């Protein structure tokens, strides 16, 4: 047992003990995922927390605690009331998914350093450069605790495990290496996975010459036109799964039996001779088992590597659905705004149609009056005709100008909104293309881009319709005003000479009749235009209904990808456990086989040298167990307790259990 523990510690495979106890019964469990966006220089600029309350007992009311701001339900219509940090959810037996923003400092800080050909350089200057590059991502553990270790107070840190992942394009990088992790090349792109344990070396009080526990990850490569995608760091307050911690369960018994071990040296010496007889058979069977174990280990490792790539794709799909839902929401809002604006335009054109109809009727009446004048052979023209005509012309022109100006103002406002929405959608399209370099071959991302592009075309068509309507308004007003003014000027000129007017009244009737016909045509055209706007209004309602249906469908799709993502995480976790177990078993079996061979060859030597081993070996091991190993075991137990106690980043009710993980998203360097 002692030799196995020492071997594992010096080889870097740290194991933590788990104390057996009865789990308390909790009303519900709250899982938190903390997403923090970090710029290329390492500065945090946004922290969003997604909380999932697992309603185990199907409670109708859930009393929750949270210090998040701008809390909103992201997957359901369950309502809540908030008072300070208290959240009361009307769950009605359902799980609760909610989101909020946080301004709190993280327990883990991340700093970034970039180098080109051995010299430090800023990410902005490095963008587009070529040469030997190194990216250093260093993590600092800020969650320190004062813990009693064998009667002495010492500082221990909550044991966070960090797994970093990023994808590098092989057209920009080659000869890629990572300091602590793995590099997986599929021919077109390279997956880089690194691991770090910030604060763990300090907590274990281990010297560098005994074991190297990394708190940073270094990525080196030969770069051409340097640029990177997002680097994601997965942070969890766990080191290893509970099923792998049983190896240290019996350490307390071992300490109490150190004296027995010391007195058993002579018995080992006597038993060494008997051991020789069975070593040959044991060695032969160990080799057979070793060959089989290598095949199992290789298979589980290949399965894990393949599934990690699949899980990364599922995660990208799940993250992209948030942008898809936002785009669908923008389209829905834009379609509803178009529908509202066309309603206003419809109302304004009704006013114009009524005005042109009144103008037509007024000119018809004027023709009738002049005909009556001709029929009465009046010798005195009505002196008020010129004045009334001027007032009618000015009033009509003013009314037309107001109506057209009001209509075009409303249309211009709506056009501005649509242009803003179009810019937002185009920016969203570019963002998705940037964050998904394989968008042309990725069917899910390509489908999302097609949906957004369709939305852009719909908005463009709406803008074109508004431009056409505005031009038609201006042209209609100009033509109508010109016709009115020309008719009025013609009438005024005829009234300047009373006698000439009497002789040319028939000509005036003809012109008034022509103006009346023009006004009637304008009225008819306005009516047709009104009918077209009515049709456009109906179409805009269909557009709004379709956009709303698209938005609802995107939400349903997002829920589905979330369920897929959760299930994939569980699958990946299971494969990791299986792979880790088989790898450890394979390594252990290699050691066992080597040991069996050595045992077979050296059993005689062991028997002859057992006395020296008893004096120089067993006694020193006993001293080590009662000293360094016992202290290290205590630290491991304390660290495990700290990991178990870290259940929430925000707040947690006493009646709830919790689990929290952090995802740090570092922006890519672009040029």
Mean pLDDT in each 10-residue stretch from start to end of the chain (671 residues)? 33 37 71 96 95 94 95 94 94 95 95 97 96 97 94 93 95 96 93 94 80 92 95 85 42 48 50 51 61 68 70 69 68 68 63 66 70 57 64 77 84 89 90 89 87 89 88 83 77 62 64 69 67 68 70 73 73 70 64 54 48 46 52 85 93 92 95 82
Q: Check which CATH number belongs to the domain holding 190 and give it.
A: 2.60.40
Q: Is residue 460 assigned to a domain?
A: yes
Tokens at 554, concatenated: 């995107």
| Cα dihedral value 588, 590, 595, 598, nearest 10 | -170
What's phi and psi for 184, nearest 5 deg? -120, 115
Residue 10, sorted as left (phi over 0), alpha (psi -120 to 50) or beta, turns out to be alpha
Cα–Cα distance, 41 to 44 (Å, whole number): 9
Tokens at 415, concatenated: 């056009």
What's phi and psi for 422, nearest 5 deg? -65, -40
Q: Is residue 385 assigned to a domain?
A: yes
Residues 515 and 657 in one domain: no
Burial of 84 (0-12, 13-18, 19+ CB in 10 A): exposed
Cα–Cα distance, 426 to 445 (Å, whole number): 15
Q: Is the dihedral of CA 23, 24, 29, 32 positive or negative?
A: negative
Nearest to 447 by CA among 553, 539, 544, 548: 553
Strand duo 28-38 + 44-54: pairing: antiparallel
Residues 155 and 89 in one domain: no
pTM: 0.45
Nearest to 334 by CA among 508, 183, 154, 546: 546
Residues 6+ apart with CB under 8 A from 288: none
Cα–Cα distance, 320 to 337 (Å, whole number): 26
Cα–Cα distance, 373 to 502 (Å, whole number): 9
Picking from 530, 561, 592, the residue at the C-terminal end of a domain is: 561
For residue 540, what is the enclosing H or E element? helix 505-613
Picking from 561, 587, 622, the residue at the C-terminal end of a domain is: 561
Residues 117 and 103 in one domain: no
Predicted confidence at residue 258, as pLDDT, reads 47
For residue 217, what is the enclosing H or E element? strand 216-223
Q: Is residue 382 assigned to a domain?
A: yes
Range of the domain at 203: 110-237
What is the Cα Rg of the chain in Å?
41
Nearest to 406 by CA among 483, 341, 485: 341
Give 84's DSSP letter. T
Residues 57 and 139 in one domain: no
DSSP three-state, residue 86: strand
Residues 85 and 170 in one domain: no
Residues 74 and 115 in one domain: no
Residue 512: how many other CB atoms lie within 10 Å: 23
Residues 517 and 530 in one domain: yes
- Residue 104: half-sphere exposure toward Cβ, Cα within 13 Å: 19
Cα–Cα distance, 77 to 74 (Å, whole number): 8
Residues 92 and 114 in one domain: no
Residues 352 and 478 in one domain: yes
Q: Is residue 536 assigned to a domain?
A: yes
Q: Is residue 620 assigned to a domain?
A: no
Q: Is residue 355 assigned to a domain?
A: yes
Residues 175 and 128 in one domain: yes
Predicted confidence at residue 65, as pLDDT, reads 95
Residues 145 and 129 in one domain: yes
Tokens at 515, concatenated: 């103006």
Predicted confidence at residue 285, as pLDDT, reads 58
CB of 27 within 8 A of CB of 614? no
CB of 480 within 8 A of CB of 356? yes
Predicted confidence at residue 248, as pLDDT, reads 40
Predicted confidence at residue 108, as pLDDT, reads 96
Residues 417 and 399 in one domain: yes
Helices (H) and strands (E) in the chain, counts: 12, 19
Predicted confidence at residue 190, as pLDDT, reads 95
Predicted confidence at residue 26, as pLDDT, reads 82
Nearest to 189 by CA among 208, 210, 165: 165
Q: Is residue 580 assigned to a domain?
A: no
Instruction: List beta partners, residue 50.
Output: 33, 99
Predicted confidence at residue 536, as pLDDT, reads 62
Burial of 68 (0-12, 13-18, 19+ CB in 10 A): buried
Q: Is residue 577 assigned to a domain?
A: no
Structurally, how many domains does the chain consist of?
3
| Cα dihedral value 486, 488, 493, 495, nearest 10 | 160
């Amino acid at each position: 047992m002692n030799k196995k523990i020492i071997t594992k510690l010096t080889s870097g495979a740290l194991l933590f003990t788990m104390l057996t106890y009865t789990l308390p019964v909790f009303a519900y469990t709250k899982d938190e995922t903390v997403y923090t966006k970090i710029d290329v220089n390492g500065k945090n600029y946004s922290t969003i927390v997604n909380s999932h309350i697992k309603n185990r007992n199907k409670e109708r009311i859930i009393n929750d605690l949270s210090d998040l701001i701008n809390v909103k339900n992201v997957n359901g219509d369950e309502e809540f009331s908030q008072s300070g940090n208290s959240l009361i959810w009307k769950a009605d037996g359902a799980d609760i998914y909610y989101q909020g923003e946080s301004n709190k400092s993280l327990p883990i800080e991340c700093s970034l350093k970039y180098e080109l050909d051995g010299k430090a350089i800023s990410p902005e200057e490095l963008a587009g450069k070529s040469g030997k590059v190194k990216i250093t991502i260093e993590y600092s553990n800020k969650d320190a605790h004062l813990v009693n270790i064998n009667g002495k107070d010492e500082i221990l840190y909550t044991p966070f495990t960090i797994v970093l992942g990023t994808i590098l394009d092989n057209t920009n990088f080659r000869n890629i290496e990572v300091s602590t992790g793995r590099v997986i090349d599929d021919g077109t792109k390279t997956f880089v996975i690194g691991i770090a344990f910030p604060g763990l070396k300090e907590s274990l009080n281990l010297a560098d010459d005994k074991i190297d526990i990394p708190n940073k990850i270094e990525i080196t490569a030969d770069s051409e036109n340097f640029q990177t995608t997002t680097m994601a760091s997965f942070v969890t307050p766990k080191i290893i799964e509970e099923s792998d911690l049983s190896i240290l369960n019996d350490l307390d018994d071992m300490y109490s039996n150190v004296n027995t071990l010391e007195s058993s040296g002579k018995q080992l010496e006597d038993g060494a001779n008997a051991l020789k007889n069975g070593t040959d058979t044991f060695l032969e069977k160990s080799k057979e088992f070793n060959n089989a174990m290598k095949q199992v280990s290789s298979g589980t490792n290949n399965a894990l590597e393949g599934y990690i790539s699949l899980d990364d794709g599922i995660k990208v799909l799940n993250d992209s659905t948030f942008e898809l839902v936002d785009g669908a929401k923008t389209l829905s809002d834009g379609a509803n705004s178009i529908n509202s604006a066309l309603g206003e335009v419809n109302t304004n054109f009704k006013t114009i149609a009524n005005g042109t109809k009144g103008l037509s009727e007024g000119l018809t009446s004027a023709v009738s009056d002049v005909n009556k004048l001709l029929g009465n052979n009046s010798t005195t023209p009505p002196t008020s005709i010129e004045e009334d005509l001027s007032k009618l012309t000015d009033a009509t022109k003013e009314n037309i100008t107001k109506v057209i100006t009001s209509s075009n103002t409303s249309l211009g406002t709506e056009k501005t909104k649509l242009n803003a929405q179009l810019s937002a959608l185009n920016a969203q399209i570019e963002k998705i293309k940037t964050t998904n370099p394989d968008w042309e071959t990725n069917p899910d991302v390509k489908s999302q881009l097609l949906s957004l592009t369709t939305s852009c075309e719909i908005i463009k068509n709406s803008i074109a319709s508004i431009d056409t309507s505005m031009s038609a308004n201006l042209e209609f007003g100009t033509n109508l005003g010109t016709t009115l003014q020309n008719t009025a000027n013609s009438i005024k000129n005829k009234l300047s000479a009373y006698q000439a007017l009497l002789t040319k009244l028939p000509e005036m009737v003809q012109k008034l009749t022509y103006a009346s016909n023009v006004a009637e045509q304008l009225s008819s055209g306005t009516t047709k235009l009104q009918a077209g706007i009515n049709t456009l209004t109906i179409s805009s309602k269909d557009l709004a209904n379709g956009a709303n249906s698209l938005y609802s469908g995107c939400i349903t799709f997002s829920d589905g990808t979330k369920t897929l993502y959760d299930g994939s995480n569980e699958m990946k976790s299971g494969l990791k456990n299986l792979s880790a177990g088989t790898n450890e078993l394979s390594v252990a079996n290699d050691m066992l086989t080597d040991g069996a061979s050595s045992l077979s060859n050296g059993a005689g030597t062991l028997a002859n040298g057992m006395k020296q081993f008893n004096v120089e070996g067993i006694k020193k091991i006993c001293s080590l167990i009662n000293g360094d190993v016992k202290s290290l075991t205590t630290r491991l137990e304390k660290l495990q307790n700290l990991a178990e106690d870290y259940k929430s980043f925000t707040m947690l009710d006493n009646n709830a259990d919790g689990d929290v993980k952090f995802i740090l998203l570092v922006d890519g360097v672009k040029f």
